[in-house]
Amino acid sequence: MRRAATAALMFAVLASLTGCVAHSSTPDTAHTSAPKQATATVERRTITDVLTVSFTVTAGVDYTVSAPAIGKLEAAGAGYAFLPSSGGPASPLSLPATTTHVEALVPEDTEIAAGTPLLSVHDAALTLKAPLTAAQVLRLAGRIPSAVKAEIDGSTGPFDCPLDDPRPTESEDGDYAVYCRLPVNVPAIDGATGLIALTLSQAKDALALPIEAVAGSRQDGEVYLKGHTAPHPVSLGITDGAYIQITKGLNAGDVVTIPSPSLLGDD
């Protein structure tokens, strides 16, 4: 009898312990949920595409002046002019008074394409030289900056600083740079450094998403619409580095998930 009672007691204790374990694990399982997925909503905002580049002040630089359109280089007195093929009069190619050497890079009266280097110029004045990476040259994409501001470290600024030529100059080594002649009223020395900001374009009241919500950066892209697993195609415009313009494929108020579709695709 004692053995039977002892066995019954042990069975009851084990059953009780088993019930406690099962009971204590139930709340953890019941209250566990998947992490909330990040989302972004398509909204309207002003996007300004500004390219910021470091520069060095240099005394005496060589840069090129390129063709603004299809046309011809013409001699104009002691200087040169550009005659557009689309019609209209020839426009003098203005060079600074501190220019010490000019060389024509194309035959005169020969039609050339837009962007073709026309003149090689040496300017003896203090000039801001801003080297460009290959990615920055591609970002320019032939666009003419609508505004250019510069600021020298430890000096006054920012100040307006129109480029000597809006298209990058390529060196003999294959490197690219843009140049801006330093205004005479801005204190500077050879070797000073700073930043130059080129405003490339602006889109007001544009549909936009954070860049981390969009795969792609030039013309075509993809997003994940909330509740969908297949990538959704979109057309893209300009970016300010934080937001990118959506020109087609989405409407204001649409919700997408973050991160964006992988550029490599799904395995």
Specify the pLDDT at position 265.
Answer: 54
Q: Are 80 and 119 in contact (CB under 8 A)?
A: yes
d(CA 215, CA 123): 43
Helix/strand number for the chain, H first, E second: 2, 17
Specify the pLDDT at position 14.
Answer: 34
Which pTM was predicted? Answer: 0.70
Domains within the chain, CATH numbers bracketed: 39-47+206-257 (2.40.420.20), 48-66+94-202 (2.40.30)
d(CA 246, CA 252): 10
* Ordered per-residue pLDDT tens for the chain, 267 residues: 333 433 333 333 334 433 443 343 444 444 445 456 799 999 999 999 999 999 999 999 999 999 999 999 999 888 999 999 999 899 999 999 999 999 999 999 999 999 999 999 999 999 999 999 998 998 887 888 999 999 999 887 799 998 999 999 988 888 999 999 999 899 999 999 999 999 999 999 999 999 999 998 678 999 999 999 899 999 999 888 899 999 999 999 999 999 888 644 544
Residue with tokens 């426009």: 91
Q: Are 101 and 121 in contact (CB under 8 A)?
A: yes
| Residues written for the chain | 267
